[in-house]
Amino acid sequence: MTDDIAAGSPVSDLSSPADAYVGDPSVRAEWDSRYIDRAQLWSGRPNGALVAEIAGLTPGRVLDVGCGEGADTVWLARRGWEVTALEVSGVALERAAGHARDAGLTVRWVHAELTGAALPPASFDLVSAQYPALLRTPDAAAERALLAAVAPGGVLLLVHHAGMDTQEAHEGGFDPADYVWPSMVADLLDDDWEVEVDERRPRVAPEGGAGAHHTDDMVLRVRRLR
């Protein structure tokens, strides 16, 4: 594993992690607007599938993809994980950094879209993507970036709301065809990977926060063998 994120990545352990950004400005603006509208968008508690699925893992290096306001990041860091937290929204990243500082924790912050983050390949013992809004591209860039970040022996845990991938496009602009779903990542797996969990299950949801109305999860947990 490399000790540092590749040169040129928007990384910071400082009080203002959102000073630099790599990615589509319109994506950042969209997510910033969602966070600005509310003092707290999410529940502030770790996602239930994450808590359940990493119970038996030895803490190491973890990439928290789409860290939001930092509930998973803080929970992981408190349990001994060395956390790199990636987020497109500068508003969310500042909130997450504040929670980490209040808890006395050190986190490496990356203000970028996943596909532009220049993360060191095969470097994370755990890549956690909890309900990520990853845009789909013809070359499957986001799916490949998730897999590429996992170290040999490491785990990718991808969790999403069940049934969203089959919904019709909404008048509000949401079209499931625009986004990456667990089945798309599973389709890219070869003999270098072992599927440990691929199932639909009732969601263990924190109370409150956006998304609390979703009742079931799709959970994909795969281990990189080499």
pLDDT in tens, 125-150: 999 999 999 999 999 999 999 999 99
Contact 105, 82 (CB under 8 A): no
Predicted confidence at residue 9, as pLDDT, reads: 39
Structure tokens at 21: 């950004």
Predicted confidence at residue 226, as pLDDT, reads: 95
What letters, b where the CB count within 10 A reaches 16 and e where it falls short, cover 174-199? eeeeebbbbebbbeebeeebeeebee
- Which residues in the chain come in under a pLDDT of 70? 1-19, 41-44, 163, 165-174, 205-214
CA distance 116 to 145: 9
Predicted confidence at residue 175, as pLDDT, reads: 77
What letter represents residue 150's amino acid?
V
Predicted confidence at residue 17, as pLDDT, reads: 60
Contact 177, 169 (CB under 8 A): yes
Predicted confidence at residue 155, as pLDDT, reads: 98
Could you tell me the pTM of the whole model? 0.85
CA distance 134 to 139: 13
